[in-house]
Structure 1
Amino acid sequence: MSTSRDVVFPMGRQALYERNRYSPAVRSNGFLFVSGQVGSRDDGSVEPELETQIRRAFDNLDAVLQAAGCTFDDVVDVTVFLVDPESTLDTVWKVLPEYWGDAPHPALTGIGVTWLYGFQFEIKVIARLPDAIELEKGL
């Protein structure tokens, strides 16, 4: 049985995702499942400086969320992947509040990894779609 996926593409980056053969996000059952976002430039190349790379990853994530009509406030679950967490975690904690907003914060899992295709940080999330929230509230 074949099902089509309700895929979300941020503006201007569809060719990058098609070249790498994955979807940036998929809507399903009231949720948005966002693939891991890294600090890549528009051409897909690595942003070399760690803090800028983390900000770019959050900006890339934000673009995917916006394409689905979501914001960081809709995010319920986060997974971050860090190469060398001991040396990168402080920089992540420095940048994260600028994007996250006020409490309550989403659930968060951090995973130390040995390789991220040249990147040092990756973030993937699950967000609640605004339409699903409105339906739940009876609006």
Structure 2
Amino acid sequence: MATRDVVFPAGRHALYEKHRYSPAVRSDGFLFVSGQVGSREDGSPEPEFEQQVRRAFENLDAVLAAAGASFDDVVDVTFFIVDPASRFERAWQIVPEYWGEAPFPTATVVGVTWLAGFDFEIKVVAKLPARDAD
């Protein structure tokens, strides 16, 4: 069996260890990032929704950076939102702070009833930048 090429950002290992998953895995030039939530370093959620969304993007940015990528490399995004009828517009107002310029990645929004104590999660697939030959 092949060994997974796992990417860990600095900090936040408490959440990954508690729930037994990897933050991201590199494979064939792509980075598959697990859903990132608005968790603090100890794994607890940011209590206020908008701050939870911002923290989820910051946590995502940290995972991407650890792999040598940025949000500009993201090709597919899935958002999970608890109670999207009342929260989608609030979350979507924050997205441009992190999203970047067109062309945009594909995006899917899924309404859910439970996210392990969180209200927002973002999962992405990124095409890793080509590395310069040494």
Normalised-by-shorter TM-score class: over 0.9
For 2:98, the equivalent position in structure 1 comes to 99
Distance 1:15 1:45 in 2: 9
Higher percent of residues as helix = 1
Distance 1:87 1:48 in 2: 17
One-letter identity of the residue aligned with 1:101: G
Tell me how many residue pairs correspond in the alignment.
133
Q: Could you tell me whether the CA contact under 8 Å between 2:78 and 2:110 is conserved in 1? A: yes
How far is the alpha carbon of 1:15 from its aligned partner?
A: 4.2
Name the SS of the counterpart of 1:122 in structure 2. Answer: strand
Q: Normalising by structure 1, report the TM-score.
A: 0.91
Q: Normalising by structure 2, report the TM-score.
A: 0.94
Name the SS of the counterpart of 2:125 in structure 1. Answer: strand
For 2:55, the equivalent position in structure 1 comes to 56
One-letter identity of the residue aligned with 1:118: G
Structure 2: runs of 5+ lacking an equivalent:
none
Distance 1:46 1:102 in 2: 29
For 2:85, the equivalent position in structure 1 comes to 86
State the Cα deviation string for residues 113-138 of structure 1 (Å, max 9, x = none). Answer: 01111111000000000127x79xxx
Distance 1:15 1:95 in 2: 26
Structure 1 ranges of 4+ moved more than 2 A: 13-16
Distance 1:97 1:69 in 2: 22
State the Cα deviation string for residues 82-105 of structure 1 (Å, max 9, x = none). Answer: 100011111111110010111110
Distance 1:99 1:120 in 2: 18
One-letter identity of the residue aligned with 1:79: T
